[in-house]
Amino acid sequence: MTEPKNDVQNQFEQRDPLTQYPQPPFPRQPQEAPGLTSAMQPLPDHGEQSYQGFGRLQGRRALITGGDSGIGRAVAIAYAREGADVAINYLPEEESDAQEVVRLIEAAGRRAVALPGDLREREFCDDLVARTVSELGGLDILVVNAGKQVSRDAIADITDQQFDDTMKVNVYAMFWLCRAAVPHLEPGASIVVTSSIQASKPSKNLLDYAATKAAEVAFAQALSGQLADKGIRVNAVAPGPVWTPLQPSGGQPQSKVQQFGESVPLGRPGQPAELASVYVLLASQESSYITGAVIPVTGGTLF
C-alpha cells in the first residue's frame, strides 16, 4: 500500500485548510462493506508520514475499535507515537488494513495487539476487553469508534436486519464495551466515543445511523456523570464528513461519494489525520477538566 506523501514538518506548518487536502469531485469507487483503505482514491491521510508525538500518553494502554482504517487508524498511530501501547479491533475481512496499522504501531516502538471480531456479539465485546487487559497488562483508554452506516433513501428500504446490525454495532457494543471496561479503569482513565454531526443534523438517507449517533452523545454524557466521582472522564467526538472506507462501501450513494464534503464551509471532506489530535487531547492529562463534552470536528458545519 502506498502511504500519503506528507512531509514530517507539515504537521505544524501553517497552511490553507481549504486546499490542504484533496477536494471533490472524486472518482466513482464502489466497494463491498466493510471496505478497505487501500482501495480508496485518493488514499486517506492517517498521519502515517506527518504525525509527531510528544510522549503525552507515555505508558498508557488503549483499546480502539475500528482501529484498522479511518479515524480509528489515525488515532492508533497518534496514540502509539504519543507513547501508548495499542490494541485494535476490526472485522476479519479488514485484516490487510489492520496489519498495516500493527506495523505502524510497532514502528513507533510500542506494543500492538490485533483483535479481530464481531462487535454485534456481547460475548465477543466482553472478551475483547478481557484480552486487551491481559495482553497489555491493563486498560487506561477506551476509544469506541467502530460504526456501521448504510445509506437508504426510504424507511421502507431499511430491513430489520440492517436496523438491528446498526444498533448493535453503534449502540449495544458501546454499552457492552464500557460496562466491561469500567471495572478495569483507574482514576485518570478516559473513554472517548466517536459520534457524528448526524447526531444533531441528521441526513434523510441515514435514518438509523443518525439515531445511533444521537444515542451515543446521550450515553457518553450520562456515563460521564456516573464516572466523574471515580476520576474517569467520558467524552464524545462528533466528526463531519471524513474520508474513510465507510463512505464508498455503502455509507453513501456513489453520487454523494464523488461530491463528498463539498457542502461544508471548508469545501472538502476531513482526513482522519485531522481528527487524531482531538482524541489525543481527550485521552491525555491536558484535558483533565473536560468530561461530558462533545467536540465537533466538522469542517465548519455547526453542531
Residue 1 has pLDDT above 60, yes or no: no
Instruction: Note if 51 is an active site residue.
Output: no
Residue 28 has pLDDT above 60, yes or no: yes
3-state secondary structure 39-80: HCCCCCCCCCCCCCCCCCCCCCEEEEECCCCHHHHHHHHHHH
Give 7's pLDDT tier (boundaries 50, 70, 90).
very low
Question: Cα separation of 123 and 68, whole Å?
Answer: 21
Least confident segment among 5-19, 43-57, 122-136:
5-19
The whole-chain average pLDDT of the chain stands at: 95
Candidate list 51, 79, 209, 279, residue with the active-site label: 209
Question: Cα separation of 67 and 85, whole Å?
Answer: 13
Question: Cα separation of 86 and 124, whole Å?
Answer: 18
pLDDT at 2: 43
Residue 5 has pLDDT above 60, yes or no: no
What's the average model confidence in pLDDT over 178-204? 98
Q: Work out whether strand 61-65 and strand 141-144 pair parallel, antiparallel, or are unpaired.
A: parallel
pTM of the model: 0.95
Question: Cα separation of 92 and 26, whole Å?
Answer: 28
Number of Cβ within a 10 Å radius of residue 159:
11
Residue 204, C-alpha cell as written in the block: 434523510
Give 8's pLDDT tier (boundaries 50, 70, 90).
very low
pLDDT at 10: 64
Give the model confidence (pLDDT) of 164-190 as tens digits. 999 999 999 999 999 999 999 999 999
Please state the domain extents for the chain. 57-297
Question: Cα separation of 124 and 138, whole Å?
Answer: 18
Give the model confidence (pLDDT) of 131-164 as tens digits. 999 999 999 999 999 999 999 999 999 999 999 9
Task: For domain 57-297, say whether CATH 3.40.50.1100 is its number.
Answer: no
